[in-house]
A and B are shown apart, each in its own frame.
Chain A
Amino acid sequence: MKRRDFVKGFAVATATASTALGQQQPASNAAEHNGAGAHPSPQPPPRTARAEQMARFHTPSIPLSQPDAVAMTEARYFTPVRYATLVHLCEIMMPAGDEYPSAMKAGTPEFIDFFIGASPADKQTMYNDGLDRLNADTLKQFKVPFAKADEKQADAVIRPHLKGWMNDHPPREGQERFINLAHRDIREFTMNSPAWAAAAEASGERTPGVGLYWYPIEPGIQTWVDHHGAARTASAAKHKQA
């Protein structure tokens, strides 16, 4: 297509689109535009004026809440026995503080159930095996499941596996790895919960866990094209027609 033809075609397409959109505008807007047209000074076409008006529109302030304030996460990944073990592990590892909620109050067991349920298989295996081992150890030592163990009994099967470790390098051995990583998860998901933030606010502390969040940058990495394939090039289309 020659450039002149292209420009002409573009102008027609724009006018058509403007007309179609213009039909959807309320009568009062149309009246405004007509009124503006009565002045001799150059004015933007109606569609452009409308776009400019919309671009100046500021977002209204509407207070938002986290879903955790009104709803519960339904646990559905772990088996009932494993979930009961996890719940008690959360109770033991992170009880309520003077002013801060417990892991239970923060919804941490449900969140871990969701998170691990969506995790890669190796992490799921680590959790499943670790919870099974905790239960087996308390049954063997005290003839009760971990979920029914008292603090002393729970401590007897947890403490031998606790190790100090540094970032990215948790212990490698199976149960040591599970206990220390589960402990890390329980603490992190509790301290980063809406309930914890509410407690901080109530006690006059600064909002915890604030960081610099990056939104998706000019979304397009996962574009329509990625899912549906690139558009045919003009030359290929012509070739096909010929």
Chain B
Amino acid sequence: MAQKKVDVLIIGSGHTGGMAAKILTEKGISCTMLDAGPMLNFERYRELKPAHELPFRGEVAPGRLPHVYQASDFNANFWVDEKTVPYSYPQGQQYNWVRVRSIGGRSPVWGRQSFRLSDYEFKSRDHDGFGENWPINLKELAPYYSRVEEIFRVTGHTDGLPQYPDGNFIEDNSPWSGAMQRFVDAGKKLGVPVTKPRSSLGKDGLASSINLLLPDAVATGKLTTIPNAIVRQITVDKNTGLADGVVFVDRHSHREMTMKARVVVVAAGTMETTRLLLASEICNSSGALGRYLTDQIYGAGIICSVPEARDGKGAPGLMGGGALIPRFRNLETKSNGFLRGYAVNVSCSNGPFDARALPYYGKELEAKLQSYNGSHFSTNIMGETLGHYENQVTLNKQLLDAWGMPTLNINTKYTSNETNMAKDYIDTMAAMAEAAGFDILVKNYEFNPPGYSIHEQGTARMSDDPKKGVVNRWSQSHDMKNLFITDASVFVSAGWQNPTITMCSLAMRASEYLAEEMRKGNV
């Protein structure tokens, strides 16, 4: 078959590849989308099963997916096999790279917390002197946030806090439960705002690329989707110096194929995007490609019991509900020991109590579990980490994946900034829980290794200065005007926020800019 040149080639079909496909096809531009994985078929590949029918009684198979703490016997087949697509890190610097390869990428398992970044993030260098500012600000991105929030059906409460920008919400005016109200009141005394969570309702409980974005692109008749296409290289026209297509390998047969394109949009996910650019030896005139990797710390927290809810005595409305504490440190004053800030997920449950929090066994434990049932209260941190220059991913040509592609060496580590932040967080939450009258059972200062949050960002950051960043304010490569990056690799700093809504807003903005540039003949 004669090879045709496609208008726009999109690499990756997750939230940002899906957004690019939706926006571009709706503007009449033909797109071809490649994804390294297969199409999901929920009816064929999923089934409700009891743990006792699974091979390892609910536990992930011994030694399988050691870096995916989220893995279990139920979902082990969903994650990328670390032996098939390996990666490495320096000894003592564990990195948990959590990956999915299928149409839709990681979007079907997104936790759906939906936040805007504030100018405390966009202009972070102005605020505390660390790192770089983003080349854009909240005002520029706000119209796109609003449209993305409408697509994802974000629910939340309008709070009027500058560090927690309000959005285009399905307003949540539900009352607090009794226990949550006590925690809210305890926060007020300490100057800690406790707000309603913000999350995407999506459709039928799913807010993914495959049900919210790709169907719109498909409806235009202008999207061609190719599964199982593992892109090995972005090719370059020697005459123009522009990207002119890709080389990809069929996942099953390993057959290598080439494809020509007028424009390339890379949306493979933060570090897969960077791996591809490094392997293609492009887009790195700044020297910033692969650098400034960052994410968020998760895992530290407290577990409490609400005494009035024990022994089945909880009054109706006492328990239940969640809350979000947005960043409150280093806004108007400076905290000792750390830059930036953290947010907190708060959970209040009238369900079963977590046995691990209770230091008992046997019949004594069963009696405690019965007594504590319905009294669970816990918090979990989402803390911004700092994107140091030294936090870098590089190609490891000695270690190839199953398709012969060089793998990544991920060199990053947390510092005292994260440790001090976690200590401040636990001490503050414990003080609030005590003030609210809760019994604190567990105080865990330890946080998970880098990568656990699945919020990796940076390594191809944006900047107006071609010497400091890989892409410009429109997510367009400084080196190749016909190459755009739409995933979180373009982030300049992490913030405490789940990045998905910002990723989608940036992808929408970049795609509309690209469409206009194509119309003008500039790309």
Chain A residues packing against B (C-beta within 8 Å): 66, 92-95, 97, 111, 115-116, 118-120, 123, 158, 162-170, 180, 183-184, 187-189, 192-194, 196-197, 207-218, 220-223, 225-226, 230-231, 233
- Judge whether B444 and A169 touch: CB under 8 Å: yes
Chain B residue nearest to A222 (CB atoms) is B84
B176 lies within 8 A of chain A by Cβ? no
Which of B57, B84, B252, B299 touches A168 (beta carbons < 8 Å)? B299
- Judge whether A169 and B446 touch: CB under 8 Å: yes
B166 lies within 8 A of chain A by Cβ? no
At the interface, is chain B mostly helix, strand, loop or mixed? loop
- Judge whether A207 and B251 touch: CB under 8 Å: no
- Judge whether A164 and B357 touch: CB under 8 Å: yes
- Judge whether B66 and A163 touch: CB under 8 Å: no
Given contacts A197-B52, A221-B402, contact A187 B355 (CB under 8 A): yes
Given contacts A119-B63, A214-B78, contact A188 B52 (CB under 8 A): no
Alpha-carbon distance between A188 and B355 when the two chains are bound, in angstroms: 11
Chain A residue nearest to B56 (CB atoms) is A115
Residues on B with beta carbons closer than 8 Å to the beta carbon of A119: 62-63
B499 lies within 8 A of chain A by Cβ? no
B38 lies within 8 A of chain A by Cβ? yes
- Judge whether A163 and B359 touch: CB under 8 Å: yes
- Judge whether B58 and A192 touch: CB under 8 Å: yes
B523 lies within 8 A of chain A by Cβ? no
- Judge whether A221 and B442 touch: CB under 8 Å: no
Alpha-carbon distance between A209 and B52 when the two chains are bound, in angstroms: 8
Residues on B with beta carbons closer than 8 Å to the beta carbon of A208: 50-51
Alpha-carbon distance between A164 and B402 when the two chains are bound, in angstroms: 42
B102 lies within 8 A of chain A by Cβ? yes
Alpha-carbon distance between A116 and B54 when the two chains are bound, in angstroms: 17
Digitize B62-105: 1 where CB-to-A-CB distance is under 8 Å, 0 elsewhere: 11001001001111111001001000000000000000001000
User: In angstroms, how far is the closest chain B Cβ from the Cβ of A183?
Assistant: 6
Alpha-carbon distance between A158 and B360 when the two chains are bound, in angstroms: 10
User: In angstroms, how far is the closest chain A Cβ from the Cβ of B330?
Assistant: 26
- Judge whether A233 and B256 touch: CB under 8 Å: yes
User: In angstroms, how far is the closest chain B Cβ from the Cβ of A11?
Assistant: 19
Alpha-carbon distance between A61 and B51 when the two chains are bound, in angstroms: 21
Residues on A with beta carbons closer than 8 Å to the beta carbon of B63: 118-120
- Judge whether B361 and A213 touch: CB under 8 Å: no
Chain B residues packing against A (C-beta within 8 Å): 37-40, 44-54, 56-59, 61-63, 66, 69, 72-78, 81, 84, 102, 228, 251-256, 299, 301, 303, 354-363, 366, 378, 402, 441-442, 444, 446, 448
- Judge whether A221 and B81 touch: CB under 8 Å: yes
User: In angstroms, how far is the closest chain B Cβ from the Cβ of A118?
Assistant: 4
Most buried by A among B45, B51, B251, B254: B51
Alpha-carbon distance between A4 and B446 when the two chains are bound, in angstroms: 67
Residues on B with beta carbons closer than 8 Å to the beta carbon of A168: 69, 299, 448
Chain B residue nearest to A92 (CB atoms) is B362
Alpha-carbon distance between A213 and B51 when the two chains are bound, in angstroms: 9
- Judge whether B47 and A215 touch: CB under 8 Å: yes
Which of A123, A162, A166, A211 touches B359 (beta carbons < 8 Å)? A162
- Judge whether A231 and B78 touch: CB under 8 Å: no
Given contacts A165-B444, A214-B78, 15 further A-B contacts (CB under 8 A): A163-B359, A165-B442, A166-B354, A166-B378, A167-B356, A188-B57, A189-B59, A194-B52, A211-B48, A215-B45, A216-B77, A221-B84, A231-B254, A231-B255, A233-B256
Given contacts A66-B52, A187-B355, A215-B47, contact A164 B303 (CB under 8 A): yes
Residues on B with beta carbons closer than 8 Å to the beta carbon of A214: 45-46, 74-78
Chain B residue nearest to A190 (CB atoms) is B57
Chain A residue nearest to B58 (CB atoms) is A192
Alpha-carbon distance between A166 and B302 when the two chains are bound, in angstroms: 8
Residues on B with beta carbons closer than 8 Å to the beta carbon of A184: 355-356
Residues on B with beta carbons closer than 8 Å to the beta carbon of A165: 356-357, 442, 444
Residues on A with beta carbons closer than 8 Å to the beta carbon of B446: 169
Residues on A with beta carbons closer than 8 Å to the beta carbon of B252: 220, 223, 225
